[in-house]
Structure 1
Amino acid sequence: MSTQGWLVDRQARLRAFDRRRPWVMDTLVAVPIVLFSIPNLIEDPLSATIATLVLLPPLYWRRRYPFPAFLVTATIDLILGLLDVGVGAGVILLVMLFGVASRGSWRALVWATGITLALLVAEIYLINPVTENRVTTLLLAIGASGTAVASGVAVRTRRAYLIALEDRAARLEVERDQRARLAVAEERARVAREMHDIVGHHVSVIVGLADGGATLATARAEQSAEPLQLIGDTGRQALSELRRVLGVLREGGDADPQLSPQPGIDDLDRLLPSVRAAGLSVTYSTSGELHTLGRGVQLAVYRIVQEALTNTLKHAGPSASATVTLAACDGEVRIQVRDNGRGGPAAPGHGLHGMRERAAMYGGVVTAGPAERGWLVDVVLKEPS
């Protein structure tokens, strides 16, 4: 294994371990902060110990609730500054700011950044005034906060990129396996046709000749009539068995449990959380009898929604949100994916081309372009009768 492959494998294992036991990584973050507070613990044991114990819990729930954890830490930091209790509150605040940048919404990040800057100015100029190099101290604090924000945004972007790669890899693997199994099914059907045409024809000829010979031998009262009748009966039995085997061979591709349908409308409930985790707020609504649609139409709906949301993630910009609406009525399915981003796709690419191909399979029409606010993808499919 190459060095790069080894690093990728170790990163994947570390992420898997972190998902199983997140408290371990949170504890590793908390330990340096406690060590940083040791001088304050020695100087003022009671106040510093209480302050440290109050500051640590938000570290353990910052992943699920990044912005509330930040607000709690910022409030505690302000109170400790007013009480002149020196612990590692500033360091914890930067950790919380990183958490909001990597996991929170863009609006929450703007608020968190503003609150952090206000706290920095208040502490340096009002609460604990810095008498020397005040501007330099403020610039250094702002730089540290900016580094936390930039690091969090980088982690968010990398996470979204990995989610997209994993989804694409899974999709390609499913499609590859589907193509391979379909090729096997087609080959089995071809073999069945060949066997029926060749073997079935010759056995039928043998049966016909045997029956004719048996009839002639019976008319002449020859002893060969019985063997010829036996040959005819055996041939007919062989034809029956052949038809049964060929029927199983033809139906085997459809009966194979591994040839299950690709994603449908129900699978959108598993797709949307991953899109939201990448930073895009998505609202989803349906109307009509969508679950009665055929599997092919459901697959087309799923892929169109998936591609439209992928384009929104790529081009809509920060703070964007999307609305997905599915409606079934009068033999038609309407798919609308609308976002409020400032930008649209730079140029028609494979995604839009793929949408049109899928829609064309069901006599549909794709309309994609700038809307009143943002970008709109509007697709109408006709359900096969």
Structure 2
Amino acid sequence: MKALTWHGKGDIRCDSVPDPQIQDDRDVIIKVTACAICGSDLHLMGGFMPTMERGDVLGHETMGEVMEVGRAASRLKVGDRVVVPFTMSCGECRQCKWGNWSCCERTNPNGKMQAEQFGYPLAGLFGFSHITGGFAGGQAEYLRVPYADVGPLIVPDGLSDEQVLFLSDIFPTAYMAAENCGIKGGETIAIWGAGPVGVLAVKSCLLLGAERVISIDDVPERLELARQAGAETIDFGNQTVQDELMAMTNGRGPDAVIEAVGMEAHGADTLAQKVSSAVMAATSSMARPFALNQAILACRPGGVVSMPGVFAGQAGPVALGVLMNKGLTLKTGQTHMLRYMKPLLDRIERGEIDPSFIISHRTTSLEDGPELYKAFRDKTDGCTKVVIKPHG
């Protein structure tokens, strides 16, 4: 079959790879009807994630039709149409029983390797390096889905693939980020990053009752998408973020902030940040959390910092003194997918939201994938979100 594969920093290829096979009784094989390129895939492309190996199949936003079912995956049957969560959960360990699905203790076969860095093993992930299990991803014609008796969500025929595909990752991720803000109604939320997660976080905050959402980015197409989603906007390329936020909120500041950028954040706009950036660029390979530090600075005292943006390994310097002295609450983590997939599917069915509005580029050929990765990374051709339908 054809699949998008990693061959080193900046080197994504469409290769022929072996078709997946049932390896465990809890597996299913799906024919991929739609998959997407995620912002966190760009971290892999950029070489920021350790333990990638040449030829690894990429992709963790995937849905499709069940083609083959392992003996213990009886919840599904051939022909079912399913969205596959990017995390794998066993449903049996203590973390799964607590509802902390992304902290599953059993689904990462390389958990010992991961524990050396994180202290404990966490859930296996599709297409996201060997430290998260080394599982083949779903930017391919077919995908093996382990623990399929727990994770995949069966979706109704009345909805298009594009309406439900983002239940695989970015819509639940955005919603959990908004939920972590503790919205009770009437709040002002500021969001760093108007990429797919950031824009869906705008929608999610408004669904949860926020009065105002302010989106911060410097890409015109993304800022326009945020405005379409209902946000006010700040262009950090032309405006000083803290000054604008103070003016927009009469000096009160946002009640909660969401950092939806992660380890590739950029855009220092104060002298201290620029000096810090220059020093770190010369002395360190650590991620530079500009967006996180701006968010910590901007949040009103006693507020919440919600951080769905992906980091791998160390980042610094982080404004911990500001976080502590202002009495802020930091909430973060990989998304606990099974908390959110079905409730958000229900919202889509009721017509409350159609996540497909973020899609800018579509293709039916995996061979277009490498160039579309570059367009998404470089933010060219108005690229805000790529969807691939490998079988047309």
Tell me the TM-score range normalised by the shorter chain: under 0.3
- For normalisation by structure 2, the TM-score amounts to 0.19
TM-score of the superposition, structure 1-length normalised?
0.19
Structure whose alpha-carbon radius of gyration is higher: 1
Higher helix proportion (structure 1 or 2): 1
Choose between structure 1 and 2 for higher RCO, CA contacts under 8 A separated by at least 6 residues. 2
